[in-house]
Structure 1
Amino acid sequence: MKKVTMQDIADALNISRVSVWKVFTGRPGVSPALRNQIIAKALEMNYALPSDLRAEANEKHEALKKTIAIAVSSPETSVFWINLIHEIAKEASAHNANIMYTYLPKEIDSTYTLPSFLTDGTVNGMIVLNVYDDALIKMLASLNLPKVFMDTSTTIPFAQLNGDLLLIEGRSSVAQITESIIAQGKKRIGFIGDIKYAQTNFERYYGFKSAMKEHGISVESDYCLTGPIGADTYKEEIERFLNKLAPLPDAFICVSDFVANIVCNSLVTKGIQIPKDIMVSGFDEQADLSFPTPLTTVRVNSVTFGCKLARQILYRLECPNAGRELIYVSPEVVLRESTKL
């Protein structure tokens, strides 16, 4: 077997032999991130390091290969998100993995660059949460890192993510809620939520439409608000939509508890009773929201989901070349008074 040389390591990393020599001889002039990469590559190629440097290298390489970035856009402060991120960190720690957090913007322009530690070899894997800007998703997808996405936009195909995708199942759960409303004789049912914002939003809308179609009921566009909704103008746009409806439908299927909360509060201030006058459902079961009537929703176990995200990226670190996985996690439908007569 050919003996591995410093030049071989330099060629593998597309750097100069001098940089490799500096690291192996303890000379200054090499960044910590590049030093880690050189050490890791030397171990990978079975380069004959001195025993003291090999011991240091093994320790550094072990830490490096288990450093996971959590990249979050528009971090939320809801109980669900706090529990989710806490569980990811807890599960990662149990498997001797470090976590590094980075907060990304909601939208980017052509001048934006990613945080350096995502591109310089500091981390070896990444979990992407709440990122829906197409340009940013494409930038993250291009990174040569094992990746796990929680949800994505509707315009980027799964194959272009270059990583695994975990989705909260929404088609059958929303269909179940819709069917429970139809079973009570209600046919004029609307849907509220931006269905092109996220893949999960679209699939919830698909579940609503499929249930209506299954029962031979046409979806009336006048009762649906499914186009783009400004992130900072949700309340105003939903209230404007509700104000122009006359008469109201029998029920609203809302894409999330956040949306359902706006809908319920707006209706109640007008003296409209839920569910007597109109039924309303949500999704996510956000425990930190208050509703005038107990809300029918879909419960997502943040502990279970966080654990799954962590285990998936750990698996991907161990098996980076395994086939990419599209994974649906089943939630629990919770039928409450807001959709019961």
Structure 2
Amino acid sequence: MRSAVSIAQVAKHAGVSVATVSRVLNGNQAVKELTRARVAASVQAMGYRVNQLARSLRTDESRLLLTMVPDIGNPFYAEIVQGIDSVLQDNGYSLLLCETGGDANRERRYFDLLEARRADGAICLDPDTVQQALHSHGIGFPWVACCEFDSSVAVPYVGIDNRAAAHEATSYLISQGHTRIAFVNSDTRFMYARERLCGYADALAQAGIELNSDYCLEVDSLNFSAGRKAADMLMALAKRPSAVFAVSDTLAIGVMRGLQVAGLQIPGDMAVMGFDDIALAEQTCPALSTVRQPMRALGEQAAYLLLKQLDDATTPVTGVVLPHRLVLRESA
């Protein structure tokens, strides 16, 4: 087994002092470009790896950032995490992916890592975690709310205009002649769920369509099985809707499967609209019409916001709202 390369060995290989190698590795700009390139070449040639634990003990900086997600298996979060990781890697940070599962004890353990300075900051994608953090006092570490946020609270955030996106999706269904449109939502404790419900209601009101409470379903998660249950609820209605709009693609795909098992044709018997535009959306049969969130860009912007805080704690709090897009396929 190959032994670890020391910083002294790198210095000897590059023909410079240990102090110079250390300055290069720590991003010190007071090193000539030619010397910096020579040290970088030696680091690459010898396979030197920074001992992050030792570094954190010296600098009180771990170079480790947490990303908290409720469900690692949800493809929506996977693409956002890829965007976060690409930016962090380019800036010399490592990412620790933390699945919270809506478990308060897990969330507390992750917060403990931050408070103990074993990680430098966090990006929160879990609505539960975001809500807990937004309403907590005395949080002393840098963090960014991604997707779920509250613009009235002084915390950097990145997301989309959920209300406008839901309005656009519902208006499209109305333009296709649908007046009986069901809405499959998740927990309205969360901002995105409330905002999407408002957008749906706005579009109905604008078209002069009365909101039917029987068509407003709330399920306990965003996954496929919750969508299947929602389909059963729709099938049990005395007067079925002609279209359904779900607040996530995984929900919408579950709805489609449930309707197909019940013998309905999509979109002939019931049109289906999703939200997110995960990769699987265009692979379903029929392909799913949906609202596209710029998932990778959401992750990248969240990472940039967090890095700004780490570079300068006095950086003004900002929020970034990215554009959404309606993607029309076969299901609606």
TM-score (norm 1): 0.71
CA gap of 1:252–1:101, structure 2 versus 1, over 3 A, is closer
Q: 1:134/1:61 Cα in 2 relative to 1: closer, same or farther (>3 Å)? A: closer
Q: CA deviation at 1:91?
A: 0.8
The answer as to whether partners of 1:124 and 1:145 remain within 8 angstroms in 2 is: yes
Contact 1:131 1:137 in 2 (8 A): no
Q: Which amino acid aligns with 1:261?
A: I
Q: Contact 2:107 / 2:129 at 8 angstroms: preserved in 1?
A: no
Higher mean Cα deviation, 318-327 or 240-249?
318-327
Offset at residue 297 of structure 1 (A)? 0.4
| Counterpart in the other structure of 2:321 | 328
- Superposed, 1:95-244 pairs within 5 Å as 95-108=91-104, 113-114=109-110, 116-133=112-129, 136-137=132-133, 142-152=138-148, 158-160=151-153, 162-226=154-218, 229=220, 234-235=226-227, 237-244=229-236
Q: CA deviation at 1:103?
A: 3.4
2:266 maps to which residue? 274
Amino acid across the alignment from 2:199: G
Amino acid at match of 1:315: K
Deviation at 1:62, TM superposition (A): 9.2
TM-superposed deviation, 1:276? 1.3
* 1:125/1:62 CA distance change after superposition, 3 Å: farther
TM-score, normalised to structure 2, is 0.72
Change (3 A) 1:306 1:138: closer
CA 1:93–1:114: 2 relative to 1, 3 Å: closer
Distance 1:127 1:63, change over 3 A: farther
Which region of structure 1 is more displaced relative to structure 2, 240-249 or 108-117? 108-117
Read off the aligned partner of 1:184 and give its amino acid letter. Answer: Q
Amino acid in structure 1 at the alignment position of 2:292: R
Mean alpha-carbon deviation: is it higher for 269-278 or for 318-327? 318-327
Equivalent position of 1:311 in the other structure? 304
Give the count of matched residue pairs. 276
Q: Is the 8 A contact 1:169 1:330 kept in 2?
A: yes
For residues 331 and 282 of structure 1, do their structure 2 counterparts lie closer, same or farther at Cα, with a shift above 3 Å needed? same
CA apart distance, 1:193: 1.2
Q: For the residues of structure 2 that align with 1:111 and 1:293, how far apart are their CA atoms?
A: 38
Offset, 1:231? 6.9
Q: Does the 8 Å contact 2:227/2:252 carry over to 1?
A: no
Structure 1 match to 2:4 = none
Query: 1:213/1:143 Cα in 2 relative to 1: closer, same or farther (>3 Å)?
Result: same
Name the aligned partner's letter for residue 91 of structure 1.
V
- Residues 174 and 76 of structure 1: is their aligned pair in 2 closer, same or farther, counting only changes over 3 Å? same
Cα-to-partner distance string for 1:37-90 (whole Å, 9 max, x where unaligned): xxxxxxxxxxxxxxxxxxxxxx75996557242232433234443332222122
> 1: distance between equivalents of 2:107 and 2:171?
48
Aligned alpha-carbon RMSD (Å): 3.0
Q: Cα distance 1:188–1:63, how it changes in 2: closer, same or farther (>3 A)?
A: farther
Per-residue CA distance 1:263-319 (angstroms, 9 max, x = gap): 111111122111111111001112235533121101223322221111111112233
Q: C-alpha distance in 1, partners of 2:171/2:106?
A: 46
Conserved 8 A contact 2:242-2:271: yes
Q: Does 1:89 align with 2:82?
A: no
Q: Within 2, Cα distance between the matches of 1:330 and 1:313? A: 20
In structure 1, the gaps of 5 or more residues are 1-58
Change (3 A) 1:141 1:319: farther
Secondary structure of 1:148's counterpart equals strand
SS at match of 1:179: helix
Shift of 1:260: 0.7
Mapped to 1, the partners of 2:121 and 2:130 lie a distance apart of 20
Contact 2:67 2:81 in 1 (8 A): no
> Could you list the runs of 5+ residues in structure 2 that have no partner in the other structure?
1-54
Asked if 2 retains the 8 angstrom alpha-carbon contact of 1:255 and 1:283, the reply is: yes
Could you tell me how far 1:100 is from its partner in structure 2? 3.3
Say if 2:240 is the partner of 1:248.
yes
When residues 284 and 220 of structure 1 are mapped into structure 2, their CA distance, relative to the original with a 3 A threshold, is same
Q: Which moved more, 1:313-322 or 1:213-222?
A: 313-322
Partner amino acid for 1:260? A
| 1:44 equivalent in structure 2 | none
